Amino acid sequence: MTAPRVPDMNPLSDTTTLASTSGTVFAIDETATHDGPGLRMTVYLKGCPLHCVWCHSPESISPEPETVWYQTRCLRCGQCLEVCPHGFEKVDGEINREMEVCRTCGLCVESCPAAAMEIKGYTATAAQIVARAERLTPFFRRSGGGVTLTGGEPMLQFEFAFAVASLCQQSGIHVAIETTGFTSWKRLEKMASVIDLFLFDFKHADDAKHREFTGVSNQPILENLRRLLDLTRDNGGHKPEVLLRVPVIPSCNGSPDSIRKIGETVAKIGATRISLLPFNPAASGKYAWFLRDYPLQGIKRQTDEEMRDLESLVRVQGLEVVPP
């Protein structure tokens, strides 16, 4: 891994503007170890333009704050019914919640004695995020870690993500960003100037299947990936690293043929490194927060042997397989 660069400082006015730029965050993990090299502070941004059927973070899809209900904690005491102007009601003696009419006023959160309600999503400035990261600098230096921006899709909050990455850059903190690549090239190119590592998710090589499973075409994603890879081979300027990451989902893109085609497709446009991420069934519990059924209920995680077999299919394309 290359050492974090120490860039020229922006003028004070630019730095002040960056520091005050705000965005909507729904979680921060200061001890992450799977979102880039070393110990990471992973910042989760709200909002995603894709609607993957296997989405591991349904609380990340909406760009707006949302109130979630942890039903396993709920005491059924009725405090929420007394204060809620929209969303909660009693039906046949049971507490019922209408998600579509909830306005996220927070009254139920404040009144709940069991902490069974929580608002996912809050406003933070870039300066607040970076100040929190700077406290972890000794750990980043020892481990080769840094900050990772993820979501959701961080590029959906481009100004905020760019501000956080820029300020981290000024502090000499390594910055990674996890992206679907579904954004404009203008934004992606500008973001590349302040990013050390792109964790570039790729879901499916077949455009029709990609539309079926994510709701969007893979064509702009592939074009952005191609241009980003070209940028890393350019003779001048900053060159971020690019690591392809493929969530391997049984019944969606997890067949040997699908993985082989993914390897062929990304290798042709210049990718050199790839990680295959096994399916994580733990996401099913999050869908209950929103009173929704998990679309992949009952699907099991692949065995280590199955994953090794799939890795061999992309390795023969000349790709370096990076452990997840």
The tens-digit pLDDT sequence of the chain (324 residues) is 444 444 444 434 488 899 999 999 999 999 999 999 999 999 999 999 999 999 999 999 999 999 999 989 999 888 988 898 887 777 666 777 777 788 899 999 999 999 999 999 999 999 999 999 999 999 999 999 999 999 999 999 999 999 999 999 999 999 999 999 999 999 999 999 999 999 999 999 999 999 999 999 999 999 999 999 999 887 677 889 999 999 999 999 999 999 999 999 999 999 999 999 999 998 889 999 998 999 999 999 999 999 999 999 999 999 999 998
Which pLDDT belongs to residue 5? Answer: 44
Domain residue extents for the chain = 12-62+122-288+299-321, 66-120
Say whether 66-120 and 12-62+122-288+299-321 share the same fold: no
pTM: 0.92
Helices (H), the chain: 12-20, 79-83, 107-111, 126-134, 137-143, 158-170, 185-192, 207-214, 219-232, 256-268, 284-289, 304-315
Beta pairing partners, 89: 96
d(CA 294, CA 52): 12
Return the pLDDT at 12: 40
Q: Select 12-62+122-288+299-321's CATH number: 3.40.47.10, 3.40.630.30, 3.20.20.70, 3.50.30.40.
A: 3.20.20.70
Q: State how beta strands 66-69 and 117-120 pair.
A: antiparallel
Distances (CA, A) of 118 to 41, 71, 81, 192, 203: 22, 11, 16, 34, 31
C-alpha distance across the termini of the chain, in Å: 16
How is residue 100 written in tokens? 């579509």
Q: Is the dihedral of CA 38, 273, 2, 130 positive or negative?
A: negative
- Residue 235's pLDDT is 61
| Cα–Cα distance list, 175 to 150, 311, 314 (Å) | 11, 27, 27
The reported pLDDT for the residue numbered 113 is 95
Asked if residue 146 has a cis previous peptide bond (ω within 30° of 0), the answer is: no
The listed CATH number (3.40.630.10, 3.20.20.140, 2.30.30.100, 3.30.70.20) that belongs to domain 66-120: 3.30.70.20
